Amino acid sequence: MQEMILGEIVTLFVLSIAVVLVCHRFRLPSIVGFLLTGVLCGPSALGLVENKEMVDIMAEVGVAFLMFSIGMELSGKELMRMKKPLLVGGSAQVLFTTACVFLLAFWWSGVRHGIIYGCMVTLSSTAIVLSLLQQKAQAEAPHGRVCLAVLIFQDLAIVPMVLIFPLLGGGLEFETESMLLALGKGLIVITCILLFGKFVLPRLMFSVVRTRSRELMLMATLGLCLTVALITSWVGLSLSLGAFLAGLMMAESEYSLNTLESIMPFKEVFSSIFFMSVGMLLDVSFFAGHVPAVLLCAVAIIAIKILMTLPAVRMLGYSLRTAIISAFCLAQVGEFSFVLAKSALELELITNDAYQIFLASSIATMVMTPLLIGAAPAAASLVLDKFRSGAKSVAAEEEGAGEEVPDIVRDGRLLKDHLIIIGFGIGGKMLAHGAKRCGIPYIISEMNPDTVEKFRGTEPIRHGDATFPLVLEHLGVATARALAIVTSDPAGGRAIIANAKKINPSLHIIVRTRFLGNLDSYRKVGANEVIPEEFETSLEIFARVLTHYLVPRQTIDRYVTLIRQENYGMARKLDMGGSIMSSLPDLQLSAFSVEEGSPVAGKTIGECALRKQYGITAAGVRHGSTINNTPNADTVLSPGDIVYLLLTPETQAAASFLFHSSHGDGDA
């Protein structure tokens, strides 16, 4: 018997490896692979697993660990940080979707089924959505933040849903005495658990951590999770609720990170088994005989969730484009819907046929999720292009129509040679701070309404979606000198660049990207400079390593410049006309401040031998408010002067050495 169980577990694991590898080949999430593995192993397909009870037990443990990790990730501080999108956007999405499904199901089969199907359909897959957004480097994009907030609220909504289903199993009319008894018993147990977490757990975990034993930390974590889950189960509540409460307790502990790290491998393994067990429940023959009904149900679920998520995101003040992309991301059925569906089947709230159709259609929505997320930007562009007039009115509304607009943005002609900053995260704030210190006029466009409200009185910040030409015009793009995009939305960034270049072809556009592989796509639509984070971070690490080995700074700068040129040619080109540019492709114009104590301070250009010895040409010198456009060998370079140099990447390091003092950083 033991060998048979072990053999079935090995069969599950080996087959899942093959199926997940195939799914990875087609860029499908691992969860889809586990679901398909369960379908293949199930009794209606190959029948490779006979001991379904053992798999179900492991699946229940997987759900418990899943809820434990959800509870740990929902600390009070995290919830407070994103309270508006979580409470407003999340609650609106859940209420709108549940209400829509409730009305349809109520019209079809009554109140009870309306509540059941509403709860099951409204949940989305946290694992699939966040995984795909992270793979696409969109987790910090506006739609990524919205999806995270909605998913967190859905995770919180799971708790009352888990409690509702057993009550529905007893009918909609309940005995007051039994209800109060069950409610009181549950509240007492939950209160005791929370008190234990506040007064006893910190001391217990401190004692465990003091031993510095990873094994003991692991056993304490697993013990806490499963013990609390069992206690809640004994009093009539669910294992999942107990595990969730245990996670919330641990989230407030200063040792929560170590705890989460120790349980993550178990959570992944048992959660994978949970998805396999769900796949085993699918009746392949039933699916084959009801393909039209399954596909119709899947399409209906996706359509309802998209239509109901759109107004929920728009309520937060985000653009229509962000709302469309967010809706496409959240259009699938979530993993916990399977738990609710199984509970409804066991309580005889739904028939087996209804359960099989919901199961098959839910799996179909999960399989389609990568396609939906990939098609979301194009779908948003299509909708906005088709309803251009409506989109423009939305953009105008987002820009703050009816508000008192500062002089800097009231008339585009007043915004001359200014900098436009798209996005006001960490990168945008640093850029604005630097522009302010250097006296460069700038204006900021940000899509997060909370961020705009926070900085409205201290920064020239406007709320709007910069992918709209009307928004760019309102930012003064026609007379701007430079535009910097520091957001994490590749599709949106390309749209901004294309529209900005149409309005102002001479605009210098600099864009930040997460990966080096995005260089070509940005340059094709008109970006002048693309800064890949992963490459620049690697260069900084490389430079610091060489510094630690006492390599001369000039040598390090030369290495970094050459590596940068070889990999993506980031050097800024001097706009001197086609013929000259073709003959001097690496020439660039850079400005250097003459620092006190630098090698060139107080000397003439001839004495510095810039061209003869270093191959550097001085194109101009600014002394105070006076600019000398024709410097010669007798021009003196005084401390504080700004010298404009014609450089190649090879001479960049030499110029940096000549104009910087040995005891300061100065301005470059």
Q: What CATH number does residue 442 fall under?
A: 3.40.50.720
Residues 196 and 286 in one domain: yes
CA distance 547 to 553: 7
- Residue 482 half-sphere exposure toward CB, CA atoms < 13 A: 15
Give the closest residue to 197 by CA, choosing from 184, 189, 80: 189
Mean pLDDT confidence for 506-524 = 83
Read off the CATH number of the domain in which 668 is found. Answer: 3.30.70.1450
- pLDDT, residue 301, reads 94
Would residue 121 count as lying in a domain?
Answer: yes
For the cut 80, the answer to whether the pLDDT of residue 316 exceeds it is yes
CA distance 393 to 184: 54
For the cut 70, the answer to whether the pLDDT of residue 565 exceeds it is no
Domain end among 364, 381, 398: 381
Would residue 581 count as lying in a domain?
Answer: no
Strand 642-647 with 588-593, pairing? antiparallel
User: Is residue 347 very low, low, confident or very high in pLDDT (cuts 50, 70, 90)?
Assistant: confident
Residues 468 and 355 in one domain: no
Domain count, the chain: 3
CA distance 329 to 89: 14
Most confident of 291-300, 368-377, 607-616: 291-300
The residue that leads in pLDDT, 268 or 462, is 462
- pLDDT, residue 172, reads 45
Domain end among 513, 533, 566: 513
Q: Report residue 48: phi and psi, to 5°.
A: -80, -20
User: Is residue 573 very low, low, confident or very high in pLDDT (cuts 50, 70, 90)?
Assistant: very low
User: Is residue 587 very low, low, confident or very high in pLDDT (cuts 50, 70, 90)?
Assistant: low
For the cut 90, the answer to whether the pLDDT of residue 307 exceeds it is yes
Which amino acid is located at 465 in the chain?
Answer: D
Residues 116 and 176 in one domain: yes
Would residue 233 count as lying in a domain?
Answer: yes
Give the closest residue to 443 by CA, choosing from 467, 470, 417: 417
The residue that leads in pLDDT, 46 or 182, is 46
Would residue 145 count as lying in a domain?
Answer: yes
Mean pLDDT for all residues in the chain: 78
Domain end among 513, 532, 548: 513
DSSP state of 581: H
DSSP calls for 64-90 = HHHHHHHHHH--HHHHHHTHHIIIIII
For the cut 80, the answer to whether the pLDDT of residue 101 exceeds it is yes
Residues 376 and 414 in one domain: no
CA distance 117 to 332: 14
Mean pLDDT confidence for 264-277 = 76
For the cut 90, the answer to whether the pLDDT of residue 366 exceeds it is no
The residue that leads in pLDDT, 536 or 324, is 324
Please state, for a pLDDT cut of 90, what percent of the chain lies above it.
10
Residues 343 and 489 in one domain: no
- Quickly count: other Cβ atoms within 10 Å of residue 598's Cβ: 21
For the cut 60, the answer to whether the pLDDT of residue 628 exceeds it is yes
At CA 180, angle to CA 178 and CA 182, rounded to 5? 65
Give the closest residue to 610 by CA, choosing from 635, 584, 581: 635
Any idea which of 48-57, 251-260, 351-360, 528-537 has the lowest mean pLDDT?
251-260
Which residues partner with 644 through β-bridges? 591, 620
Residues 598 and 463 in one domain: no
Residues 250 and 359 in one domain: yes
Give the closest residue to 233 by CA, choosing from 220, 219, 244: 244
Would residue 668 count as lying in a domain?
Answer: yes
For the cut 70, the answer to whether the pLDDT of residue 98 exceeds it is yes
Determine contact, residues 618/642, Cβ cutoff 8 Å.
Answer: no
Read off the CATH number of the domain in which 286 is found. Answer: 1.20.1530.20
Most confident of 57-61, 621-625, 660-664: 621-625
- pLDDT, residue 77, reads 61
User: Is residue 665 very low, low, confident or very high in pLDDT (cuts 50, 70, 90)?
Assistant: very low
Residues 347 and 226 in one domain: yes
Q: Which residues contact 444 (CB under 8 A, 6 or more apart)?
A: 420, 421, 422, 424, 428, 432, 455, 459, 460, 461, 462
Which residues partner with 529 through β-bridges? 510
Mean pLDDT confidence for 57-62 = 72
CA distance 659 to 582: 29
Residues 357 and 416 in one domain: no
The residue that leads in pLDDT, 121 or 548, is 121
Would residue 400 count as lying in a domain?
Answer: no
For the cut 90, the answer to whether the pLDDT of residue 331 exceeds it is yes
Domain extent, residue 607, equals 587-668
For the cut 60, the answer to whether the pLDDT of residue 390 exceeds it is no
Residues 356 and 426 in one domain: no
Instruction: Write out the H or E segment, with its range, that includes residue 453.
Output: helix 449-455
Residues 486 and 635 in one domain: no
Residues 480 and 617 in one domain: no
The residue that leads in pLDDT, 113 or 62, is 113
Tell me the per-residue pLDDT of 162-176, one tens digit each, with 9 for 90 and over: 778 777 766 544 455
Any idea which of 2-6, 284-288, 418-422 has the lowest mean pLDDT?
2-6
Asked whether the CA dihedral 645, 651, 656, 657 is positive or negative, the reply is negative
If phi > 0 it is left, if psi is from -120 to 50 it is alpha, else beta; for residue 538 that is: alpha
Would residue 143 count as lying in a domain?
Answer: yes
Would residue 220 count as lying in a domain?
Answer: yes
